[in-house]
Amino acid sequence: MSGVTLHGFRYSVYVRAARMALSERGVAYRLDEVNPFDPDDAGRNPHPMNRVPVLDHGGFRVFETSAILTYVAMAFPGPPLIPTAPPARARMVQAQGITDAYAYWPLVRQVYSAAVFGPALGQPRDEATLARGLSAAAPALYMLEEIAAEGLVLNGADLSLADLHLAPMIAAFTAAHEGYRALAAQPALHRWWQDMVRRDSLAATEPGLPDKATR
Ligand SMILES: N[C@@H](CCC(=O)N[C@@H](CS)C(=O)NCC(=O)O)C(=O)O
């Protein structure tokens, strides 16, 4: 056993990114289920801002998904997940930044929540939030399309932290058919996604959907 614990909520896209990295590295870990949206869990979340994920390994604790992905890539052996050439490294970090700053909210918290996650919990589809999310998603998808088209990262061949950071958000977004249509309109990003869906680490971390009795 590797002595790795990941604290997190199974439906979190950020937790899934960390799980994908651990899966790509073949690292066994314990998932300590902490739901940041459940007030009953707040006292036991090690994250100072009550977010997830948090990773513990042999007495070292790290939070913020970019930092967790970097740590997993460097602490455990396997193919390089961090390019060394300056342009590719910069693009990887840029894509991760775009993913956090401009993609997460519209893709996940608006489109996925309004059209998929909320309805799975028995809530009506929230058409207004869905429309706002699709509109806000457009520039984020376009920025990522340019990076995928350039091909230094998000190229379907040289897996990097950018792929692991972004893939769970695209998985959530495309679970809504409106999201899938928006992705399909970006040819390079769509090609990248067709490669990503074949990865074992994506299948191994599929969280499914909650049922109405979960909450
Ligand atoms: N900057 C954080 C963001 C993590 C994050 O926002 N996680 C979401 C779950 S997907 C969360 O904990 N949300 C709780 C909340 O918004 O209160 C990271 O990179 O890990």
Report CA(49)–ligand 1 centroid distance (Å). 9
How does pLDDT run across 108-167, given as a tens digit for each residue?
999 999 999 999 999 999 999 999 999 999 999 999 999 999 999 999 999 999 999 999
| pLDDT score of 202 more than 70 | yes
Structural domain contains residue 208: no
| Residue 53 Cα: closest atom of ligand 1 | 20
Q: Which residues line ligand 1 (CB under 6 A)?
A: 12-14, 36, 50-52, 64-65
Residues 103 and 152 in one domain: yes
Instruction: Give the CATH number, domain containing residue 91.
Output: 1.20.1050.10
Structural domain contains residue 214: no
How does pLDDT run across 37-73, given as a tens digit for each residue?
999 998 999 999 999 999 999 999 999 999 999 999 9
Question: Given this model, what pLDDT does residue 2 score?
Answer: 65
Question: Given this model, what pLDDT does residue 58 score?
Answer: 96
Structural domain count of the chain: 2
Residues 147 and 64 in one domain: no
Question: Given this model, what pLDDT does residue 214 score?
Answer: 54
The residue count for the chain: 215
Residues 197 and 152 in one domain: yes
**Prediction pTM value:** 0.97
Q: Whose CA is nearest to atom 18 of ligand 1?
A: 64
Residues 198 and 92 in one domain: yes
Report CA(51)–ligand 1 centroid distance (Å). 4
Confidence of residue 211 (pLDDT cuts 50, 70, 90): confident
Three-state SS for the chain is: CCCEEEEECCCCHHHHHHHHHHHHHCCCCEEEECCCCCHHHHHHCCCCCCCCCEEEECCEEEECHHHHHHHHHHHCCCCCCCCCCHHHHHHHHHHHHHHHHHHHHHHHHHHHHHHHHHHHCCCCCCHHHHHHHHHHHHHHHHHHHHHHHHCCCCCCCCCCHHHHHHHHHHHHHHCCHHHHHHHHCCHHHHHHHHHHCCCHHHHHCCCCCCCCCCC
> Domain ends where: 43, 75, 107?
75
Mean pLDDT in residue range 173-194: 98
| pLDDT score of 215 more than 90 | no
Range of the domain at 131: 86-203
Question: Given this model, what pLDDT does residue 42 score?
Answer: 87
Residues 64 and 165 in one domain: no
